[in-house]
Amino acid sequence: MGIFDFLTSILTGGATGLLGMIFTAVSRWAEARQRMAERAQDYKHELALQQLAMQTRGMELESEQAIADIEATQAMRTGSYDHDRGYGRASQWVVNILRLVRPALTLGLIVLTGLIYFSLDNASQRQDVIEMVSYATTAAIVWWFGAREMERRK
């Protein structure tokens, strides 16, 4: 074994060590990159889960709002009906008069609609007034017959 073989062994051993270091560094870099990609995928998955949870909660809130709206409407209608029935201990003629308020208003609005329609000559005025009175008449009729239908179902 000569000096040349000795130097070659040293140089090739160093080169092999250097190649091993480079290979280790590249492997660690690739592993780190893979871990980062896995984390990114985990974060992406977590984000998707959070978005689904937010959408679900949003739908729950919409449902809760719809339920609250229905309950509020029901409470108002029940209050209206209870008010109509809540005469207490009044004499019979007072109860009869109170029971005639809604039908009298309805009939009065129907008559008022007809009177206004036939008394106005100006088409523009007739149209404006008839729209307002028709709204009130329709609301009264629907409420009156709707309330009576609801009472029949009880």
Tens-place pLDDT, residues 89-134: 777 787 788 778 878 887 887 788 778 777 877 777 777 777 887 7
Whether residue 152 has pLDDT greater than 60: no
Whether residue 127 sits in one domain with residue 81: no
| CA 133/CA 11 separation, integer angstroms | 107
Residue after which a domain boundary falls, among 70, 86, 102:
86
Distances (CA, A) of 97 to 92, 104, 120, 150: 9, 10, 33, 22
Whether residue 77 sits in one domain with residue 13: yes
- The model's pTM is 0.37
Whether residue 94 sits in one domain with residue 48: no
pLDDT value of position 87 = 58
pLDDT value of position 63 = 92
Whether residue 64 sits in one domain with residue 6: yes
Q: Are 137 and 115 within 8 A, CB to CB? A: no
Whether residue 101 sits in one domain with residue 48: no
What is the span of the domain harbouring residue 53?
1-86
Most confident range, picked from 70-74, 82-86, 97-101, 150-154: 70-74
Whether residue 11 sits in one domain with residue 78: yes
Q: What is the pLDDT of residues 8-49, one digit of tens each?
A: 666 666 666 777 788 888 888 999 999 999 999 999 999 999
